[in-house]
Amino acid sequence: MCGECPGTPEASIKTMDRGRFLKLGGAGLAGAAALGAFGPHRLLAQTSSGASLAAEFRAAEEEYGVPEELLLAMGYVNTLWEMPPPGVSDYQPGDLHGRGAYGTMQLFQNPSRDTLGRAAGLTGLSESRLKTDRAANVRGGAAVLADIAGQSKPSGLEGWQEAVTEYGDGPLYAQEVYETLESGASLTNSTGESLRLEAQEVEAPAVYTTQSRSADYGRAAWRPAYRGNFSNASRGVKKIDFIVIHVAEGSKSGTINWFQNRRANVSAHYVVGRSGSIAQCVRNSDIAWHAGNWPVNTRSIGIEHAGYGSNRRTWTRRMVRSSAKLSAQLCRRFNIPADRDHIFGHRRASATLCPGRHFDRDRYIRLVRRFK
């Protein structure tokens, strides 16, 4: 893309007003600096206990009475059993990834939620340790979940649904966790630890979804962002030129919940899950605040993908194909060329490493062309 051409991502970065960048763009300058300092595209599983992650989940079950299988499912949904460094999602107003969610158990600390502080009070561990030490983080998450459930702990896995819903700030999180319990999961994480969750006899809770009648894309469920997190507009074919690819640095449900939070000041049009499921949060005609670059926001569609830029397991075959089909439909609808100048990662529009080195843009564009 021509770097000196007016309105291109490269040109827009140089002229971007910092106040607008922070408020309307996504990853602000302060957020970008924090991400850079912490090396956002490394997942560092740290523990002072010297124990395996499986042992840490078992210890948390014994201490707090939360089923190990449930903790495993939550950790898988949250981070694929990794321990992201705090800088990946430190809370930053207007930062697309700055939700303030920490560690394997995604303990939150932002103006809306403080499960991190709650965990510190319940365990006696410092907030700093809960953010950076894996064993402490797992213990803190179990403590919060047990506290939500109360003294009379549920007797079976399905009895924990209400507590999981509150822990994850909504039914979408509980649905993801119980779908994982229902199907099982296994992988080897970045520290070489192989974990396996056997399929459980549970039924994932149904969450009401509105399909194509409300969403612009027929395969998407309509999950509207908070009205103060995007700009109302009436964009059409002549005003939409780009598709911007993001990685969420979190789960699908956590990303949608963040877009629905009145304090977030960020949004994207679509969120794609690892299974290929798609939610639409902002209508195509409106301007989502996702690119960290206002001129690019006004001319683009933003697509978030659940996962982490540092984790190659983020880009599952089902996710990539589903996202490529979405982009193909957008290309047809808005006459967007399926090439590198018009479909690009977040980092091309602003100071961020999103969507990370594991996103294969060339392969993605080839798929878009095939589906187009």
203 found inside a domain: no
* Structural domain ending residue among the three candidates 197, 232, 267: 197
Q: Reply yes or no on whether the pLDDT at 47 is more than 70.
A: no
The number of beta carbons lying within 10 Å of the beta carbon of residue 93 is 16
Q: Reply yes or no on whether the pLDDT at 25 is more than 60.
A: no
Range in 34-38, 301-305, 322-326, 358-362 the model is least confident about: 34-38
Up-side HSE of residue 315: CA atoms within 13 Å toward CB?
Answer: 18
* Structural domain ending residue among the three candidates 137, 169, 197: 197
Mark whether 169 and 111 lie in a shared domain: yes
SS3 30: helix
pLDDT of residue 147: 98
Mark whether 256 and 159 lie in a shared domain: no
Domain CATH number, residue 246: 3.40.80.10
Question: Tens digits of per-residue pLDDT, 169-223?
Answer: 999 999 999 999 999 999 998 889 999 999 999 999 888 755 545 899 999 999 9
Average pLDDT of the chain, as a whole number: 87
The residue range of the domain holding 298 is 9-30+208-371
Mark whether 267 and 295 lie in a shared domain: yes
Token reading at 110: 């932002």
90 found inside a domain: yes
CA–CA dist 244, 62 (Å, integer): 45
Mark whether 218 and 363 lie in a shared domain: yes
pLDDT of residue 24: 39
C-alpha distances in angstroms, 260 versus 50, 61, 176, 247?
39, 32, 17, 18
Q: How many domains does the chain have?
A: 2
Mark whether 326 and 293 lie in a shared domain: yes
271 found inside a domain: yes
Mark whether 147 and 243 lie in a shared domain: no
Mark whether 242 and 354 lie in a shared domain: yes
Question: Tens digits of per-residue pLDDT, 138-160?
Answer: 999 999 999 999 999 998 999 99
Q: Reply yes or no on whether the pLDDT at 11 is more than 50.
A: no
Mark whether 157 and 266 lie in a shared domain: no
pLDDT of residue 29: 31
pLDDT of residue 32: 33
Q: Reply yes or no on whether the pLDDT at 50 is more than 50.
A: yes
Question: Tens digits of per-residue pLDDT, 361-371?
Answer: 999 999 999 99
Range in 13-27, 54-68, 160-174 the model is least confident about: 13-27
pLDDT of residue 97: 81
Domain CATH number, residue 104: 1.10.530
For residue 278, list its beta bridge partners.
220, 272
pTM as predicted: 0.84
333 found inside a domain: yes
* Structural domain ending residue among the three candidates 197, 217, 246: 197
In what side-by-side order are the strands of the sheet with 343-345? 220-222, 278-280, 270-272, 300-305, 242-245, 343-345
